[in-house]
Amino acid sequence: MGASTTYKVEARRSGAWWALEVPEAPGVFTQARRLDLAAAVATEAIALFLDVDETAVDVELVPVLEHEDGIFLREFEDRRALARHANADADAAAKVTARALVNDGLRLRDVAVVMHLTFQRIHQLVNGPPPTCYVCGAPGTWEAGRIKRHDRPGDPTATRELDALVGRCSVDRTHWHYPGPTFDEADHG
C-alpha cells in the first residue's frame, strides 16, 4: 500500500446539510447530512475526482462555523485546554505531595486521610512514575520552595511570591519545573 495524501476539507453549514469543499483539489464539492459522515463522503469524492483508490486519500475535516458560533467554539476549546492543564498540574502536585508525606514517615493510609484520597490512589501516586517536567518530559525532582510569579508578563512590578513545589530540570538544568506553568530561571527568587 502506497503513501496517502492528506487533504483539508472545509465543511460549511448549508441549510440541513454540510457543504464540503476541498481547496487543494479545485472542483471537488460534495455534501453530507451529518458532520460525522463528512470525512467518508469527502474521501470518496476526492478519490473519484482524482481517479485514485480511497486508501490513497486522508482528510482533515475543518468545520467552518458562523462568526458567533466560532467564537463560542474557540472559547470552549480554550477553557477545555485550561482544564486539562489544571488537571495535569493537580496530578503532578498530588504525586509530589504523597511522596513527600510518605518520605516524612507517614503511612499510606494516613496520607490518604490527609489528602482526602483513597488508599489505592495514594498507592498509585507513590509507586507510579514520578511527575515529569513540562518542558522536556524528564522525571522531575521536587522540593518545597518560594518562587516569584509574574502575574502580568512584561510587567516586572506585577509579581508575587508564593510557596510552591519547585525543582531544577535534571536534564538540561536551564529551567525549573513545578505543578503549574514553566518559568524561566529569572522568574525564581
Q: Are residues 116 and 178 in the same domain?
A: yes
168: in domain: yes
31: in domain: yes
Q: Identify the helix (H) or strand (E) that includes residue 107.
A: none
Q: Are residues 111 and 174 in the same domain?
A: yes
- Overall pTM > 0.85: no
Residue 41 belongs to domain spanning: 7-64
Q: How far apart are CA 82 and CA 85, in angstroms?
A: 5
Predicted pLDDT of residue 68: 81
* Residues forming beta bridges with residue 143, ordered by sequence position: 166
Mean pLDDT of the chain: 77
74: in domain: no
pLDDT band for 136, please (50, 70, 90 cuts).
Answer: low
90: in domain: no
pLDDT band for 69, please (50, 70, 90 cuts).
Answer: confident
Amino acid at residue number 87: N
Q: How far apart are CA 41 and CA 33, in angstroms?
A: 10
Structural domains counted in the chain: 2
Q: How far apart are CA 142 and CA 165, in angstroms?
A: 6
Q: Are 149 and 183 in contact (CB under 8 A)?
A: yes
